[in-house]
């Protein structure tokens, strides 16, 4: 790992590339009944990691938003900066999640810088690595503006498929994407009482 030898070097590196990270975390709680996997989804969270950026009007930062369902467009009040407290994403607790069923989420990501453009990527992570049985079996599809970025990728193959490039963002540019989480049709009682915590990490780099 290279050493930073002077404060001047630190300032120059920050000015050249500013990085911001945000987390959209969606929790799914699944409980098996008899021979079918059914369940209820607990409330998800949109939280974050600290924004790394220079002070001043040219700071580069990423904002995120999220909601269950399709066709949603975030309004000005929906966007949040990456922070540890986050906010809850309401989920339908009455909707079952059995074999072949899907849950759909609309996620928003925004370059909140008033001046700096940048590139933003996303990564789907297992929020609770100690419980991977269900996460690894779930199928993940991500679409953005008509393009399929991930197509029913099993959780245990995500490491090889991500991060996914979401493209170039002008200052204050925002995009929405759809993430579909599907229970395999052949899921059985081996998944009963297993849980999955699906975490989506957005990472932006100024350009």
- pLDDT tens-digit profile of 110-149? 998 888 898 999 888 887 778 788 889 999 999 999 999 9
Asked whether residue 114 is domain-assigned, the answer is yes
pLDDT exceeding 90 applies to what percent of the chain?
30
- Contact assessment for residue 194 and residue 29, using Cβ atoms and an 8 Å cutoff: no
Q: Would you say 206 and 116 are in contact if contact means Cβ atoms under 8 Å apart?
A: yes
pLDDT of residue 57: 44
Residue 88 lies in a domain: yes
Q: Which residue, among 94, 85, 79, 1, has the nearest Cα to 42 in the 3D structure?
A: 94
180-192 pLDDT, tens digit per residue, is 999 889 888 888 7
Domain count, the chain: 1
The residue written with tokens 């975490």 in the block is: 199
Would the pTM of this model clear 0.85, i.e. be above it?
no
Please compute, for residue 101, the number of CA atoms within 13 A of its CA located in the half-sphere on the CB side: 15
| pLDDT the model gives residue 60 | 77
pLDDT in tens, 89-111: 666 766 767 888 888 999 999 99
Which of residues 56 and 66 earns the better pLDDT score?
66
Residue 113 lies in a domain: yes
Question: What proportions of the chain, in percent to the nearest 5, are helix, strand and coil?
Answer: 15, 45, 40
Is 57 a domain residue? yes
Model confidence at 28: pLDDT above 60: no
Residue 143 contacts by C-beta under 8 Å, 6 or more apart in sequence?
Answer: 149, 177, 178, 180
pLDDT band at 156 (very low <50, low <70, confident <90, very high): very high
Domain that holds residue 59: 7-206
- Would you state the pLDDT for residue 94? 64
Cα gap 95→187, rounded to integer Å: 17
Residue 84 lies in a domain: yes
- Cα-Cα-Cα-Cα dihedral of 64, 207, 158, 72, to 10°? 30
Alpha-carbon distance of 67 to 78, in angstroms, equals: 10
Asked if residue 1 belongs to a domain, the reply is no
Residue 2 lies in a domain: no
């Amino acid at each position: 790992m290279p050493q930073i030898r002077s404060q001047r070097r630190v300032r120059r590196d920050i000015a050249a590339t500013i990085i911001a990270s945000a987390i959209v975390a969606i929790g799914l709680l699944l409980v098996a009944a008899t021979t079918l996997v059914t369940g209820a989804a607990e409330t998800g969270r949109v939280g974050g990691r600290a924004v790394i950026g220079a002070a001043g009007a040219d700071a580069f930062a990423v904002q995120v938003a999220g909601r269950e369902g399709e066709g949603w467009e975030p309004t000005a009040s929906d966007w949040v900066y990456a922070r540890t407290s986050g906010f809850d994403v309401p989920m339908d607790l009455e909707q079952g999640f059995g074999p072949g069923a899907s849950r759909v989420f609309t996620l928003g990501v925004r370059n909140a810088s008033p001046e700096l453009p940048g590139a933003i990527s996303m990564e789907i992570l297992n929020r609770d690595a100690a419980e991977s049985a269900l996460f690894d079996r779930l199928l993940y599809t991500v679409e953005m503006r008509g393009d399929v970025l991930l197509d029913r990728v099993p959780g245990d193959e995500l490491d090889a498929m991500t991060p996914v490039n979401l493209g170039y963002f002008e200052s204050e540019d925002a995009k929405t994407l759809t993430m579909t989480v599907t229970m395999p049709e052949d899921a059985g009682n081996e998944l009963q009482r297993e849980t999955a915590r699906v975490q989506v990490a957005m990472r932006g780099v100024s350009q």
